[in-house]
């Protein structure tokens, strides 16, 4: 199952967000897209998940143009979790997760053995089985995010797109969600594409890192090669030092602000 963007041009009315972008998503790996606000990373993710129609260029899913495929057919191959989704009041976790099965259901078959296995499996993988009958709006932020991820899991798609899955979560819950994503990738060989804000999380959890700036790809590759002080300066306009994360051995970005930077090397530069 391959996902590829070719000469993509994305725009909202007259405002062009992404222009002439080519991107190949490595199959079976975790790809993380980073970039400053308004660089077009969310728009790109939405276009990869056929939520935004390109003005020009094509997104290919398995060699077919995704925007000309029936949306239900796409939904069986590619799942997308938008940023900060909201569930209706009173909706139970298990009902939310069951909705992830809808691309595989029809009106007379809504709880097949396949549905049951996928829904219970997704609840187990996200540790949400014990909360299955609680309403989504009563959950904590971390549990709620896990419930939505469980919904996306129950969809059983080889490709999973996640837009900032760690927003609004405290650090412990952020790590929990990211670890879960890696589990899914390693145990179920799913291709994952995530937009993340935190550069250190991105460096730690990505197999393939894509840095975007003003609608273009500034650099891509393994995090150890991509995440350098020069790149952060270029893409974010932020001076920083990149060291090795003592926990994971991946790049760790230490930013310099205008204050609290007594030991900063070459401040004048």
Partner 1 sequence: MRAPGVQQVAGRTTYRLARPSVSGVLRVRALVVGLVAAALALVTLSVSVSIGDYPVPLPDVVRALAGSGDPGTLLIVRELRLPRAVVALLVGAGLGMSGAILLALTRNPLASPDILGIAQGASAAVVAGVVLGFGSSLGTSGIALLGGLAAAAAIYLLAWRRGTTGYRIVLVGVAIAALCLAVTQYLLVRAQIFEAQRAVLWLIGSLDGRDWAHATPLAIALAVLVPTALATMRWLTLLGLGDDTARGLGVPVQTARLLLLLIGVGLAAFATAAAGPVGFVALLSPHIARRLAGVAGPPLLGSALVGSVIVLVSDVTARLLPGGQLPVGVVTAALGAPFLLILLARANRAGTGG
Residues that bind partner 1 (CB under 8 A): 46, 49-51, 71-76, 79-82, 85-92, 94-96, 98-100, 102-103, 105, 107-113, 115-117, 120, 123, 129, 132-133, 135, 137, 155
Task: Give the helix/strand (H/E) hosting 23.
Answer: strand 15-25
69 within 8 A of 3, measured Cβ to Cβ: no
215 Cβ contact list (under 8 Å, min separation 6):
10, 16, 17, 18, 19, 21, 39, 40
Six-digit token string for 207: 């197999």
Query: How near is the Cβ of 18 to partner 1 at its closest, in Å?
Result: 18
Q: How far is the CB of 218 from partner 1 (least distance, A)?
A: 27
**Nearest to partner 1 of 136, 199 (CB atom):** 136
Minimum distance from residue 17 beta carbon to partner 1 (Å):
16
By beta-carbon proximity to partner 1, the closer residue of 90 and 221 is: 90
Write the DSSP symbol of residue 254: E
Q: Write down the least CB distance from residue 153 to partner 1, Å.
A: 13
Q: Would you say 191 or 203 has its CB closer to partner 1?
A: 191
Q: Which lies closer to partner 1 via its Cβ, residue 100 or residue 251?
A: 100
From first CA to last CA, the distance across the chain in angstroms is: 47
Supply the DSSP string of 30-68, one letter for each residue: EEEEE-STTSSHHHHHHHHTTSS--SEEEEEETTEEGGG
In whole angstroms, how close is the CB of 229 to partner 1 at the nearest point? 36
161/211 with CB nearer partner 1: 161
Q: Give the residue carrying structure tokens 């030092």.
A: 241
């Amino acid at each position: 199952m391959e996902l590829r963007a070719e000469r993509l041009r994305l725009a909202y009315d007259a405002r062009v967000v992404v222009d002439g972008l080519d991107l190949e998503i490595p199959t079976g790996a975790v790809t993380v897209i980073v970039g400053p606000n308004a660089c077009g990373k969310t728009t790109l993710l939405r276009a990869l998940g056929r939520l935004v129609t390109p003005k020009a260029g094509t997104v290919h899913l398995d060699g077919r143009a995704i925007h000309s495929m029936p949306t239900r057919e796409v939904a069986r191959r590619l799942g997308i979790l938008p940023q900060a989704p909201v569930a209706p009041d009173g909706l139970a976790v298990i009902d939310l997760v069951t909705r992830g099965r809808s691309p595989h259901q029809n009106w007379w078959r809504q709880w097949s053995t396949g549905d049951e296995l996928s829904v219970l499996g997704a609840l187990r993988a996200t540790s949400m089985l014990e909360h299955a009958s609680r309403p989504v709006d009563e959950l904590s932020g971390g549990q709620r995010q896990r419930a939505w991820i469980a919904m996306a899991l129950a969809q059983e798609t080889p490709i999973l797109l996640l837009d900032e899955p760690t927003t609004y979560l405290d650090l412990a819950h952020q790590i929990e969600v990211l670890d879960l994503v890696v589990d899914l990738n390693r145990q179920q060989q799913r291709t994952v594409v995530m937009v993340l804000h935190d550069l250190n999380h991105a460096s730690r959890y990505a197999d393939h890192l894509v840095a975007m700036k003003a609608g273009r790809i500034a650099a891509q590759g393994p995090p150890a090669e991509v995440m350098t002080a020069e790149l952060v300066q270029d893409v974010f306009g932020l001076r920083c030092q990149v060291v090795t994360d003592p926990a994971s051995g991946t790049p760790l970005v230490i930013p310099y602000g205008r204050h609290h930077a007594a030991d900063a090397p070459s401040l004048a530069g």
